[in-house]
A = this chain, B = another copy of it.
């Protein structure tokens, strides 16, 4: 195992994590990192915030330099060096020194590919002035564009990075039009969960165009498919990334169905001397076992460490991926893990869906912030299949807890039993995650069946009666058409007013609806709860209107 020569392609999240760990395991190995860009170990994830001036020190994005990596880890880090070909038989790579313009061959015992991914660029007229953000050069270019004092910007793509770009351009005082092809922002969310994000963007003055497409760019305008022309001094795109597989494909390494490099559970490619990690690589989905792409820094870093262990002969387990992610936009935090309802329904899974609207902490302690939580549960096994959260404080905490529960194979009902820290400024005696467990348990036990917002219309068409158990004041403030208002506290005495047949009950969030369903059921009525109540229905209906319009 001594004096191995290990070459690494790509010197950022995955590649450099592998390099440093390798050095800690193999002091004798020769470790060379090739990076075609001008920087290594930089904080890709910070780029939008540097653009926005939230991070003002460019050097803080550069976590390590070739010099620091040399002195601490005895790494041979060569920037502006591109690996252009792999000769698998000879176990060499061909490296081009981009500054000198020369090429050379470098021998390896083990080769690690962590070449990342490339931003997708739509092929439309004028696309050459479109900027993307992936590395330091990109952000330098974008910063230079800012010095020309643009007043308007177009952002393509309402995903995580597109929203970060939008927020940061607003922060610079630039008017932003955000164009997203789908009828919602943040496609990892279900539409009713994405709705408050869209509302927040609009409230911040963003001209949000959902279900829209940019077909051409002019000098300072952009044309949409519907013919609209919008002002766009600056154009930034974030419509997804594509695994950088040029090198792997040329070398004949197996690619997977999603277009990424295929690796086994030891991060080996189809060539046992070549390993691959990071955004370029397909992962195994934790729920389906299928191949998927998860272009996230956590996995890139983690797999960087694991691949070093594999090469050093330490046993490793590469876990299947859940895909937990979080993003902050305009004071909202949005976090997801696992699958969403769209995916699960498309896959024909039999699921239970739960929406709640808890506060970040107890209502009696000042500063509690609302959030919307969604849990997806396997209807037969009670397995947790996914979760989504949108709100203020504590959103990231709840999704991290649920992701951990999923990894620990706890069921949805088990969430009720989690012992989470409680004091008034941090949570409630029943934490929102516990509460999801309660609701899941009630659904599983058949105590309170529920329907989803998108199932309501069909239920009403089939003759069910909708009872709104909120107060008359709440009802007057906005109600679902066709509902009958009987406040929960009056239900027992006014039971005679309720028509025969199946009942759909709802309140604001589902909680009083649950108590009402229990009461009605025990009084012999067939009753189900409108999951998530008026809030989820409203968000879903707003999203659906747009879906139809689009």
Contact = CB atoms under 8 A, between A and B. Distances in A.
A340 interface: no
B426 A328 contact: yes
Interface in A418-438: 418-427, 429-431, 434, 438
Contacts of A28: 522
B397 A364 contact: no
Contacts of A462: none
Given A321-B419, A407-B410, A518-B24, A424 B364 contact: no
B298 A396 contact: no
A54 B366 contact: yes
A434 B407 CA distance: 13
A264 B488 CA distance: 36
Contacts of A399: 421
Contacts of A545: none
A43 B424 contact: yes
A430 B298 contact: yes
A408 B409 CA distance: 7
Given A13-B429, A72-B515, A421 B366 contact: no
Interface stretch (A208-216, A299-307, A373-381): A299-307
A169 B383 CA distance: 47
A322 interface: yes
Given A24-B515, A429-B301, A403 B420 contact: yes
A421 B294 CA distance: 13
Interface residues of A, number: 94
Given A13-B429, A301-B429, A518-B27, A403 B422 contact: no
Given A27-B523, A301-B429, A401-B404, 20 more contacts: A24-B515, A27-B519, A43-B364, A43-B424, A49-B365, A71-B489, A71-B490, A72-B488, A297-B429, A298-B420, A298-B430, A322-B419, A328-B423, A337-B419, A397-B397, A397-B401, A399-B421, A400-B431, A403-B419, A404-B418
Q: Which 8 A-B pairs have the closest CB atoms?
A: A408-B408, A326-B421, A27-B522, A297-B429, A397-B397, A24-B518, A71-B489, A60-B364
Interface of A: 13, 20, 23-28, 43, 45-46, 49, 54-55, 57, 60-61, 63, 68, 71-74, 160, 296-302, 305, 314, 317, 319, 321-328, 333, 335-337, 362-366, 396-397, 399-401, 403-405, 407-410, 414, 416-427, 429-431, 434, 438, 445, 447, 488-490, 492, 514-515, 518-519, 522-523
